[in-house]
Structure 1
C-alpha cells in the first residue's frame, strides 16, 4: 500500500462535473473537507497500487478524488516516453462523506492581476511545427499534440481563483484539489472517461474554432469547424486511436461511435467532440481502464508511442497534471475523469498553465498560433472569484400598449441563453411580456425582461418620461478593459464593468467608451453613431460592444455603416447620436480633449 500523505485541516476539494450521459442540466457538484487519508504515488511502481486502493476504498463506500500526472504514463507502458515528473505521479484524497457546494460570497474582491509569460517564442513555435511536419512526411506519425506552458506569479487565494476560472469557463468537468503541496485548478471541458457498471464512455475533443461576434458569424464558425477537412481528419484520427485503446478492455464487438463531429460552445471557442463507448469485460479494474486509455489520445497524437516520443523531444519540461487525468470515483465505483486541459497548477506563488493543439500534415503555423491564443483567453476572463448569479436581460419600450422590437429582443435573449447554457422557452418569455403589456395599455414604460438560469422569465415595467431631444456625453478617461467580455457582448444583469464608467458630472447623460486599442466602442447604456467624413458610422462588433437592437435596425436599413473609429478621430467627427431601442436616436454632444 502506498504511504499516506500528510493531512491538513484546511484542505478542501471541489468537484463540479457534468453528467456526461444526462441532459446537460444535472451536475455532480460537491465539496470535500480534509481527507481521512491520502494515497500518493511518487514512483512508477506505486501508481498501480494507488489505483487499486482507490477502487477498493470506493467500493467500500468512500469518495476518492484526485489526479494522475501525464508522466504517470510510464506505469502503464514503458514505451511511453516522458520527462521526470515534477510532483506526485498520482494523488487521491479519500473522503468519508461529500459536503454541499460552498455558499457564494458576493462581497469577494477581484482576483489579483495575473501576468502570464509564454515559454515559447513564435520563432521557436514555427521551428517545432516544421519538425512535426517532417516527422509526418517521413511516416513517423499522423498527428502530434504539441503544447507549451505559460508561467505566472500569483499572490491571492487559490480557491477564489479557481471559482473565477470556473466562472470564465463554465460547465465541463471542473475541479479544485488542494494537496498542501500544490493546488490544481482544472476547468477542463473535456471528458476522459465515464465508467459506470459495465458501460464506459469517452469523449475526445479535437477541433477548435473561435466564437463569433454575432449569432450569424458564430454559427458560420461552428459550421466551418464541422466541415473543414483538416478539423475532421484530426478528430477521426484520435477517434480511431481511442477505439483501439478501448478495445483492450471492451467486450468483443461492443466498441461503437454513436456521435461524431459534435460542436460544443464554450465562452471563447467552439470545440468538436466525438463519443466512443463500449461495454467492458467482466473483471475489468480501474487500473485496467487507465492501462488501456492513459494518456488520452487527444493530448498525445497518433500513433501514441511515436507521438509521445516526439513530445518529449520537443517539449523541454514535464507536462505535470496538465494532460494527465483529474477525477472522482464515487462510492460503489462510478468513475469520471477529465482530461485536464484549461488547467492551472499552483505551487506557492508560482502558477503554470499549458496550452496546445493537434498538428496534422495540413496544419498551418499562423492558424495554430491563433488557436492557442483563443484557447488561452479563458485565463484573462477570470476577474472575480465569485459573482452573484446573473440573469439575462432585455430592455424594451412599451408605448401606448405596443412593445417596440419585441421579436428582435426575444431572438437576442435566445442567443444569450444558448451561449450561457440557460434554459430557454420562447413561448414562456413571450407570454410573460404579453401579460405585462395587457396591464399597461397607456403611457410610456421601460420594460425589463429577465431570464434566470433555470429558464424562468419575469418582466417588470417602470414609468418613463419622453427622452430628451439632445444629450451630453463624456469620454471615458481610461480604456474599457471589458470590451471583449461575454458580459459586454451579451446583455445581462451583471453590469459592474459598465457602472464603473457611469457619468460623474451633472447633466451628463452617458459615457462614451473605448477599448485598449484606442477604438471607440459604445456607451454604457446604448450604442453610438458618428458622422465622420460625410457618412454616419457605428463601430463594428469586433471592437467589443453589445449588438443593440436599435443599432442593428439602422445598420440593416443602411442608415448606419460599420467602421472603426479611433479616439484620435473624434476631433474630426461632425455629429454624434446615442442609439438604442428604448430611447431611439438621440442627438448628442461630446467634449473631446484638445491635444
Structure 2
C-alpha cells in the first residue's frame, strides 16, 4: 500500500469546554474507495460498520457524489473517486509539524472579471424569472509551486494554511495514489455533527471584510448582522437545511437555536446559524448523507435547480471542494457512532504537481457584481497569506545608540503578531533590539526588526544618510487594487504590491498611491500629508493604508487631521509632505 496518512484538527461543534478533536493517523488497516455512484451508499454502510466495531474512519465525499443520493442533482463528470475513507484501528496523538520545509505557491484565476459578470447576469435573470432564490457560484484557482517543491512542502503549506485560518475544521489527508493526492482543508464551516441520536448543522452564509481598526471592525460585524441581503442569504439556506434535516428527524424536533451569529475569521466576518434535531431510530450514516448532501450552503435554493445552474455555469467538477471531509468514530459505549464532517471550503488539493482551490459566494437578488467580486477577493486572502512565507517588519531609526519611537513600533508589531496568529514575546523582542543598539553606539542607522512565523525576532542595521530637506513624489498611473488587504494594513516583507509602483523617473523619491475608488492612500514607503483648504490632512485608514508611526505621531500632536482626498481634489492641494518615523516629515513636490 502506498503511503497514506491523515491529521484531523476539528473544533468542538458543541462548544463549551469540550476539547478539540486533534489526532494523527498512520498507515490504515484498509482503504475504502467508491468510483461508481452505485458504490457510494454501500461504502458509507461499510464505514459505519467499521466505526461500530471500534475503528476510526477518515475520508471524504466529492461534490460529484450527489447523484448517488438523488439522481435529480446535476453535476459534472467526476475526475476522481466519488468517496474515499481510510480505516484505522486507533487514533494517534497530534504532533506539530517539525519540518523546516517551506511552501511557495503562485496562484492564477480561472474565472476573470468579465466571465464572472456574465455568470452573475445569468443568475440574476433566473432569479427574476422565479426559477430559484440563490445560487452558490464558484470557480477554481489553479496553483503551481514556485520552483521545485521541497520534501514535505504540502505539509508545510497545510501548517501555513492553519496559521492563516486557525480554528475551524482542519484536515490533512494524503491518499497516496489511491485517491485525490493530498487534501489540505482549513474549512471554518461545520457540515454536520451526529452523535447519540442528535444532529447539528451549522451553515455559513453571509460575509463581510474585516475592518482596518477595532472600531471599523465592530462596525463591519454590526453591518453584516443588520444587512437585509446577507440575512436573506443566510435564512434561505437555514430553511433549506431545516427541510433537509426533517427527512431524518423525529417529528417536531427540528429547531434553530442560533440565527445570524457572526464569527470573526482572520480576513472576513462570516454569519452562521445552527439547525438541530433528533434523528429517527434506525437512521444510518448513508441516510444522513442522503438527506443533507451536498450542504445547501454551497448549492443554493432550491437545491435541484441551483445545482443544475451550477453545472451550466461552472467549467468543470468541483471535486472534494464543496463535498464533505470528516471522521467517523466510535461513540460512547452503547451509543453507536459519532460522525463529524466539514464543508470543504478553504481547501487545497495537491495532485500531480498542481494545486487547486475553489472560491465562491452565494448570489441572491440583492447581489451587486462588484461587491460579490470583492467578496471573492476577501475570501482568497487566507490563501495569499499562506502561499508565500513572510516576516513581520518594523523599520526604526537608531541614532547614537538610541532607537526612535521604539514603544510605538513595538505596539504596532504586537498588533500584527496578534492578527497573523504569530507568537509574541515582548521581552525577547526588546532584548533583540537592545543587543543591536549596544552594537551600534554611534552614528545614524536604519534598523529592520523582523519576526517570522515561529515568533523569533531578529534585527539588522544599515548605515543611513541624513534626510533630504525636500523630496519629489510621483502620482501612480493606476490604482492599487489591494488597498484594503491585510498586507497593506500590516507591515511585512510581502511587498510585491508596493514594488510594482517603485518610482521610475530620475530623482523621484516615492510614489503616491490611490485606491480603486479614486481616493489617495499613501506612498510605498511612508504615509502622505497634503495641505488642503489651509490645513494639513492625511487619508483615514478606511481608504486602505498602513497606520504609520510617523503618521500617528503627527495626528497625536495635532499637526495632521484625517480627511478623504480624491483624485479630483488634487488641483486644490497647496502642499505635500512624505511622513514616516524613519525620515520624519519631509516637504515634497509632485512631479
Place the TM-score, normalised by the shorter chain, in its bin.
0.7 to 0.9
Q: Is the contact between residue 473 and residue 589 of structure 1 (CA under 8 Å) also seen in structure 2?
A: yes
CA distance in 1, matches of 2:471, 2:82: 57
- Counterparts of 1:475 and 1:223, CA distance in 2: 42
1:555 and 2:549 aligned: no
Q: Is 2:368 the partner of 1:368?
A: no
Any unmatched runs of 5+ in structure 2? Answer: 332-336, 397-404, 427-452, 454-464, 474-479, 500-508
Partner residue of 2:231? Answer: 232
1:30-179 → structure 2 map (5 Å cutoff): 30-96=23-89, 97-105=91-99, 107-114=100-107, 116-118=108-110, 120-154=111-145, 156=149, 157-179=153-175
- Per-residue displacement from partner, 1:512-548 (whole Å, max 9, x unpaired)? 8988989885798xx6464667864445436765435
Give distance in 1, aligned partners of 2:106 and 2:288: 40
Q: Matched residue of 1:61: which SS?
A: coil
Change (3 A) 1:141 1:24: farther
Q: CA deviation at 1:89?
A: 0.3
Alignment partner of 1:358: what SS? strand
Measured in 1, the distance between the counterparts of 2:176 and 2:512 equals 43
Aligned partner of 1:206 in structure 2 is 205
**Contact 1:473-1:512 at 8 Å conserved across structures:** no
Asked if 2 retains the 8 angstrom alpha-carbon contact of 1:84 and 1:318, the reply is: yes
Q: Please report how far the alpha carbon of residue 272 of structure 1 lies from its aligned counterpart in structure 2 after TM superposition.
A: 0.9
- Aligned partner of 1:18 in structure 2 is 11
- CA–CA distance in structure 2, aligned partners of residues 124 and 249 of structure 1: 40
**Unmatched 5+ residue regions in structure 1?**
1-6, 396-403, 430-452, 454-467, 502-510
Q: Is the 8 A contact 1:82 1:318 kept in 2?
A: yes
- Higher alpha-carbon deviation: 124-133 or 52-61: 124-133
Partner of 2:285: 286
Q: What is residue 449 of structure 1 aligned with on the other side? A: none
1:262 alignment counterpart: 261
Question: Shift of the alpha carbon at 1:497?
Answer: 7.7
In structure 2, the CA distance between the partners of 1:318 and 1:495, relative to structure 1 (3 Å rule), is: closer
TM superposition shift of 1:415? 7.7
Q: 1:190-205 to 2 correspondence within 5 Å?
A: 190-205=189-204
Cα distance in 1, alignment partners of residues 361 and 287 from structure 2: 28
Distance 1:267 1:474, change over 3 A: farther
Alpha-carbon distance, 1:232 to partner: 0.8
Contact 1:68 1:326 in 2 (8 A): yes
Separation in 2 of the partners of 1:513 and 1:26? Answer: 50
**TM-score (norm. length: structure 2):** 0.73
Q: CA RMSD in A?
A: 4.9
Counterpart CA distance in 2 for 1:25 and 1:405 is 41
* 1:173 shift after superposition: 1.3
1:531-589 C-alpha deviation (Å, 9 max, x unpaired): 667864445436765435774464374624456799xx9xx997857656xx9x94569
How far the C-alpha of 1:39 sits from its partner, in A, is 0.7
Alpha-carbon distance change, 78 to 529 in structure 1, aligned in 2, over 3 angstroms = closer
Question: Does residue 340 of structure 1 match 2:344?
Answer: yes
- Mapped to 1, the partners of 2:494 and 2:59 lie a distance apart of 36
CA contact (8 A) 1:210 1:374 kept: yes
- 1:522–1:528 Cα contact (<8 Å) kept: yes
Normalising by structure 1, we get a TM-score of 0.73
Query: By how many angstroms is 1:201 displaced?
Result: 1.0
Which shows bigger deviation, 202-211 or 177-186?
177-186
Give yes or no for contact 1:295–1:323 (8 Å, CA) kept in 2. yes
SS at match of 1:334: strand
Cα distance, 1:197–1:313 mapped onto 2, change above 3 Å: same
Corresponding residue for residue 440 of structure 1: none
1:197 Cα deviation (Å)? 1.7
Closer, same or farther in 2 for the Cα pair 1:523/1:74, shift >3 Å? closer
SS at structure 2 position matched to 1:326: strand
Q: Measure the CA separation in 2 of the matches of 1:310 and 1:104.
A: 45
